């Protein structure tokens, strides 16, 4: 996701510096004349705006507050704005935001003199990241949100302000919960339909012209061969890994318990995707739940 987002910033004419723990990824940028840095701290030393896309809350805390993190030089920062597009728990977003807002800018460039952070997770998957059509769910100050829009519109087409710090992260958790449940529902219905003698192509046409229509049926169908250019038609490679969906459902489950919300489908979906990962399918796209949980066959 992050590499596709960075590529769109480069296409839009922004001067981009890159850091990643994956040295091969760094080399690809270096080979194309894009500057790379050895640590998050080195990135923050030279950038006015920093954008992060990381797998988990632990990674976010390390990149921002760890020994070589953005904040490792004390209370003075060069970047005016940090944008974290990771899918993490809202409390971690708020903790990091508070740490950033307690710092001062090394150079006052006519603003408040205080750096700001936005939690801005995305929806749309790798395909939308490549085409610059992501949806951003943004939490933080409205002033920082307004200043970030030109950057975000270089990577996405829908930029939605969700309110204060952590609200973007909260929106993403809820979005991925709904996505997981809809994918399970579509997969179960398609598997049942085929067992009853209806082809996946035919049933998908019915779904997409009736009340069952959803993103999991009309854009990201989980049955191999029904749609081109989706993970299901390339052995579930690429896309959004099942282990990341399991992680996001875990965040939703924790939040549900914390706030006392009745969420039976959250816990069922978390169990199913965790089981999928335990069986060795965690690196496959999450739509592989159709094959490995419902159908048990490579093609139907």
What residues are annotated to the active site? 172
Structure tokens at 230: 């989706």
CA–CA gap between residue 105 and residue 114 (Å, rounded):
6
Give 130-192 as a DSSP string.
HHT-EEEEEES-HHHHHHHHHHHHTTEEEEEEEESTTHHHHHHHHHHHHHHHHHHHHHHHHHH
Burial 90-123 (b: 16+ CB within 10 A, else e): bebbbbbbebbbebebeeeeeeeeebbbbbbbbb
Structure tokens at 96: 């990091």
User: Which residues, in sequence order, are bridge partners of residue 165?
Assistant: none
Bridge-based pairing of strands 76-77 and 49-52 is unpaired
CA–CA gap between residue 259 and residue 252 (Å, rounded):
11
User: Which residues, in sequence order, are bridge partners of residue 52?
Assistant: 84
Residues 194, 171: contact at Cβ < 8 Å? no
């Amino acid at each position: 996701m992050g590499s596709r987002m960075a590529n769109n910033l480069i296409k839009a004419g922004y001067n981009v510096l890159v850091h990643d723990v994956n040295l091969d990824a760094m080399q690809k940028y270096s080979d194309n004349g894009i500057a790379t840095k050895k640590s998050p701290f080195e990135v923050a030393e030279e950038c006015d705006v920093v954008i992060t896309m990381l797998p988990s809350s632990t990674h976010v805390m390390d990149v921002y507050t760890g020994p070589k993190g953005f904040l490792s030089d004390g209370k003075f920062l060069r970047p005016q704005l940090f944008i974290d597009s990771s899918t993490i728990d809202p409390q971690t977003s708020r903790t990091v935001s508070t740490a950033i807002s307690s710092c001062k800018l090394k150079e006052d460039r006519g603003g408040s003199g205080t750096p700001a952070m936005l939690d801005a997770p995305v929806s749309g998957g790798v395909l939308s990241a490549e085409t610059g059509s992501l949806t951003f769910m943004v939490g933080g100050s409205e002033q920082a949100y307004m200043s970030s829009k030109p950057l975000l519109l270089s990577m996405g087409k829908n930029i939605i302000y969700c309110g204060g710090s952590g609200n973007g992260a909260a929106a993403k958790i809820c979005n991925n919960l709904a996505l997981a449940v809809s994918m399970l529902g579509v997969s179960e219905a398609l598997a049942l339909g085929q067992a009853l003698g209806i082809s996946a192509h035919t049933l998908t046409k019915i779904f997409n012209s009736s009340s069952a229509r959803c993103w999991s049926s009309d854009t990201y169908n989980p049955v191999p061969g029904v749609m081109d250019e989706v993970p299901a038609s390339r052995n579930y490679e690429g896309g959004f890994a099942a282990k990341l969906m399991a992680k996001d459902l875990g965040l939703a489950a924790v939040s549900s318990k914390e706030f006392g919300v009745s969420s039976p489908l959250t816990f069922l979906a978390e169990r199913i995707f965790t089981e999928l990962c335990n069986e060795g399918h965690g690196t496959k796209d999450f739509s592989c739940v159709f094959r490995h949980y419902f159908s048990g066959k490579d093609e139907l």
